[in-house]
Homo-oligomer: A and B are copies of this chain.
């Protein structure tokens, strides 16, 4: 029955609609915050009637929760570069690269996360206490091992991680400020490369490893 023309099963169609809504929601939540966002505006951005949103996501909060969880899962996967590295220069350098690229490609997600944390994490507090805490402990151990092996300066691993998060996410969360200070224009490819190189140079030099790449 017309399989070629309508390749979408019910499930596929549902997933496509949900993705459409989730992407619109991420944008609106990022620009207006949870309280400032309205279901009407999300619906307009998605190009759907407002009632359809409530068909796929029963409440505004459930939609928001899904957006935040997706962002968190995405970040965790992107951080794998840390583990496959064989030393601090490669591992931390690649982590900075990865997080800078995420900041450029998905600034809305970063802003939603920042907003959620600033408001005391009403939705993802349990993730902070479990998954994020475990991830942080694991990476701190890797950094401490590098220090013990004399491959980098003795720095506080926890505060190094905070610095990595802060500097890379700053380019997404404060992107509007950076854009304004760049004559109102988004950073060019070259300017992004310069930003990435600057962050890597200062931090890698700061922890006593050479900043190549």
Residues 114-133 of chain A, each 1 if its beta carbon lies under 8 Å from chain B, else 0:
11011111000100110011
A176 and B31 in contact, given A162-B170, A205-B205 (Cβ under 8 angstroms): no
Query: Given A132-B181, A156-B194, are A176 and B33 also a contact pair (CB < 8 Å)?
Result: no
Q: Is the CB of B119 within 8 A of A31?
A: yes
Report A's interface with B, CB cutoff 8 A. Answer: 30-37, 111, 114-115, 117-121, 125, 128-129, 132-133, 136, 153, 155-156, 158-160, 162-163, 165-167, 169-171, 173-174, 176-178, 180-181, 184, 194-195, 198-199, 201-208
- Chain B residue numbers with a CB within 8 Å of A203 are 202, 206
Given contacts A174-B114, A205-B153, contact A163 B35 (CB under 8 A): no
Say whether A33 contacts B34, CB under 8 Å: yes
In the bound complex, CA of A195 to CA of B163 (Å): 10
| Chain B minimum-CB-distance residue to A117 | B177
3 smallest CB-CB distances across A and B, nearest first, come from A35-B36, A206-B206, A166-B170
27 contacts between A and B (CB under 8 A): A32-B119, A33-B36, A33-B119, A34-B35, A35-B37, A111-B118, A114-B173, A117-B173, A117-B177, A118-B176, A120-B176, A128-B181, A129-B180, A132-B181, A136-B181, A155-B201, A156-B198, A159-B198, A159-B199, A162-B170, A162-B178, A163-B170, A163-B198, A163-B199, A167-B167, A205-B205, A205-B206
Cβ of A121 to closest chain B Cβ, rounded Å: 6
- The residue on B at minimum CB distance from A163 is B167
Question: CA–CA, A119 to B35, complex, Å?
Answer: 12
- Shortest beta-carbon distance from A137 to chain B in Å: 9
Query: What chain B residues lie within 8 Å of A204 (beta carbons)?
Result: 206
Question: Which residues of chain B are near A169, meaning CB under 8 Å?
Answer: 166
For the complex formed, measure the closest distance between the CB of A96 and the CB atoms of chain B, giving whole angstroms.
11
Cα(A35)–Cα(B41), bound, Å: 14
